[in-house]
Chain A
Amino acid sequence: RKEVEQDPGPFNVPEGATVAFNCTYSNSASQSFFWYRQDCRKEPKLLMSVYSSGNEDGRFTAQLNRASQYISLLIRDSKLSDSATYLCVVPPLSGGYNKLIFGAGTRLAVHP
């Protein structure tokens, strides 16, 4: 089983839609998680950190379900500029940004 698994998508949604994708992780001891965003042929950029039950930042909400070992990312009122690949990332048990474990990513395409 992979350490981090994501549905590769693509998720094709119209502007204004709400979309959610999940990520499952295998190590039940993991305490914190990240969502990164990667535009085509660009570098991954940190979108959100998730340290407890969840985190909200504007149109983006990340939730953590420890019992089922998954993290979700919800995007409300989708914009064209949200089109990207969203990477679920698990840091080492010691925390921080060393030796990050990446999922393969979920592609989102927002259309007019």
Chain B
Amino acid sequence: EAGVTQFPSHSVIEKGQTVTLRCDPISGHDNLYWYRRVMGKEIKFLLHFVKESKQDESGMPNNRFLAERTGGTYSTLKVQPAELEDSGVYFCASSQTQGDTEAFFGQGTRLTVV
């Protein structure tokens, strides 16, 4: 069974540009989470989808970040315009049912804004 997959694995963009990260959860997982780790800091929660609905987006840093999950399958996280402090590793995770089952993480997208 395929795990959580994220694309691209690395992205280097210039400040002010737009980047879109994609996450394909494990098939059948309704819950999808985005987290990120900026340099030297801990992994922090960004938001949580249940199917196509945003359940909790309290961790989104500002309105330059837009997450979507049309159709309740894969999700995209767009950063527009990117700033230097957005550099970090963006992780996606998915789980089968709300709360009680293990969340599996993807390998992350390493974003560098120069």
The reply on A101 being an interface residue by CB < 8 A is yes
Q: Which size class do B's interface residues fall under? A: 20 to 34
Residue of B nearest to A94 (CB): B99
Q: Are A45 and B42 in contact (CB under 8 A)?
A: no
Shortest CB-to-CB span from B2 to chain A, Å, is 13
Could you tell me the dominant secondary structure of chain B's interface residues? loop
The reply on A95 being an interface residue by CB < 8 A is yes
Q: Are A95 and B100 in contact (CB under 8 A)?
A: yes
Given contacts A96-B98, A97-B102, A98-B31, contact A104 B56 (CB under 8 A): no
Residue of A nearest to B58 (CB): A99
* Pair count A-B, CB < 8 A: 59
A98 to B59, CA, bound (A): 12
A104 to B106, CA, bound (A): 18
Could you tell me the dominant secondary structure of chain A's interface residues? loop
Q: Are B43 and A46 in contact (CB under 8 A)?
A: no
Q: Which size class do A's interface residues fall under? A: 20 to 34
The reply on B65 being an interface residue by CB < 8 A is no
The reply on A4 being an interface residue by CB < 8 A is yes
A103 to B43, CA, bound (A): 7
The reply on B103 being an interface residue by CB < 8 A is yes
> A residues bordering B, Cβ < 8 Å?
2, 4, 41-46, 87, 94-105
